[in-house]
A and B are shown apart, each in its own frame.
Chain A
Amino acid sequence: MKKNEIIKDNLYPWGGDFTTGNYQNNVALIALNINYIPHYDIAIYGKLKTENIGIEKIIANVISNPFIRFIIICGGDIRGHRSGTSLICLHKNGIDDNNRIIDAPGAIPYIENINKKAITRFQQQIEIIDLIDVVDEEVINESIKKLIDNKTESFGKPFIAIQMVKESKQSIDDTRALHSKIKINYLGKIEKRM
């Protein structure tokens, strides 16, 4: 596979609240408690709120683009969730048999939708630059510049950890159903579907 033959539709398979830039750039950035917009055209940047699904999304959307080799995590960590620190723990320690991120300080640090292969790939492809608690934009800009100047190679083939597909429709006999477990008549009376 040639370097530039990445299928762009698969670049970031798990949609969300992030901004994309030059997909061949080697830097991704997570802005925790900081309103920061990178001064460079990096691959992708956005927020990270939760220590479970939020982290899974980041893994999926980073290993799908092999050009990304660094993640900068900056700003103060998220209250209670401690999602920034939990991501660092995941990168360093992985998950236990119960899918809990080892030593993560977040409240519910479980990785349930991404398999261990994807985590291993994340650990191998990515180097994390820990700038948690750093809010000085100049320091962050400088760090990005240094990493871009590194001119790293692509990690190889994209790894698609998750493919978001439309939920299959339940076959139900009542078109006014709100959910497969309940049904509702024309007045609004709800009944459990047997």
Chain B
Amino acid sequence: MFSFTKKQEVLQIGNISIGGQPGRVPTVLIGGLFFSGKPDFSDAKEDINKMISISENTGNPAICDFFIKKTEYIDDILSFISSTIPEKQPFSIDVTDPNVKVSVLSKLDEIGLLNQTIYNSIHVGITEGELDALKQHCPNTAILVAFNPKDTSPDGKIEVLETGAHVTKQGLFSIAKECNIKNILVDTAALAPGQNSGGSIAALPVIKEEYGLPTGCAIHNVVEKSTWLNNFSDAKGIVDVASNINIPLYGGDFAIFGSVKHANKVFPIIAWQDILISEYVDQYFGVKPSETHPRRMFY
């Protein structure tokens, strides 16, 4: 449980506050949809509503992260977003294929959703086409993934943000600036066991103290890749959910926690952790919790 010397930015993205000193605003939780196969819209709305309802209960803001695998899914998913996500509510789009990224950006611009969009993500694999598309169709917010294939330590992550670590011509901050992206979130790039999986957690306070920007990661991905846990089937789901507490504990601001279907477990555990942190940092550092902090909601 920490307090940073560097001034910490609290970004207002739509109706969500993110960042700041630990214990000030609640941890933001990002839940994913449409990861496997063709998007299934039948349960999606209900899953989102359940997540929003839990979010209103604990006070931890919820963001939907829409995975768009193929070009043919773009129209249906964006149309679903338009009809489901309220205007002030930000959402993120998670696309891996660079060509699909370009098409998604163009379509988001066409239907006027760029202002609500959190672009997930800019990383060292950025192509010229993607860079041009980002300049032309600039999203309001972007997640910069500090993945350095050569150096997975916190120093390597900083190198990627600042210089591109000789993988890209420029650092990720510089790319975001060139594209005029207003809000930046830093993802410390959780990697598989054996690849310095702890580096993403250790990097949270380092990057927060260095830049003061909202920082987080998808630490639950490490659990997915810990295949030895398959021998402990009763525990694997618990470990997946519990892994997220590392983020607020190390001063992080957001957790990309996997499927929205896990929201009913993730939100209470993070709210619990936020309360723990708030009680300490309030007493020792005078950091008061915001109006919607879980500590205010339950005490």
Q: Is B167 an interface residue (CB 8 A)?
A: yes
CA of A110 to CA of B123, assembled, Å: 12
B101–chain A nearest beta-carbon distance, Å: 10
CA of A123 to CA of B225, assembled, Å: 28
B194 touches A79 (CB 8 A): no
Q: Is A142 an interface residue (CB 8 A)?
A: no
Which of A108, A180, A188 contacts B149 (CB under 8 A)?
A108
Which of A17, A49, A178 contacts B206 (CB under 8 A)?
A178
Q: Is A37 an interface residue (CB 8 A)?
A: no
CA of A50 to CA of B125, assembled, Å: 13
Q: Is B202 an interface residue (CB 8 A)?
A: yes
- Give the contacts of B218-255 with A (CB-CB under 8 A): 225-228, 251
Give the most central of A47, A106, A110: most B CB within 10 Å: A110
A192 touches B2 (CB 8 A): no
Which of A16, A53, A188 contacts B2 (CB under 8 A)?
A188
Residue of B nearest to A188 (CB): B2
Task: Name the A residues within 8 Å of B208 (CB-CB).
Answer: 190
CA of A192 to CA of B123, assembled, Å: 26
Task: Name the A residues within 8 Å of B124 (CB-CB).
Answer: 108, 110
A79 touches B149 (CB 8 A): no
CA of A9 to CA of B7, assembled, Å: 49
Q: Is B3 an interface residue (CB 8 A)?
A: yes
Task: Name the B residues within 8 Å of A121 (CB-CB).
Answer: none
Task: Name the A residues within 8 Å of B202 (CB-CB).
Answer: 178-179
B150 touches A112 (CB 8 A): yes
A29–chain B nearest beta-carbon distance, Å: 15
Given contacts A17-B193, A179-B202, A190-B4, contact A107 B227 (CB under 8 A): no
Which of A14, A49, A180, A192 contacts B192 (CB under 8 A)?
A49
Task: Name the A residues within 8 Å of B125 (CB-CB).
Answer: 106-110
CA of A15 to CA of B226, assembled, Å: 13
B285 touches A189 (CB 8 A): yes
Chain B residues proximal to chain A, CB less than 8 Å: 1-6, 69, 96-98, 123-125, 147, 149-150, 152, 154-155, 158, 167, 191-195, 202, 205-206, 208-210, 225-228, 251, 280-281, 284-285
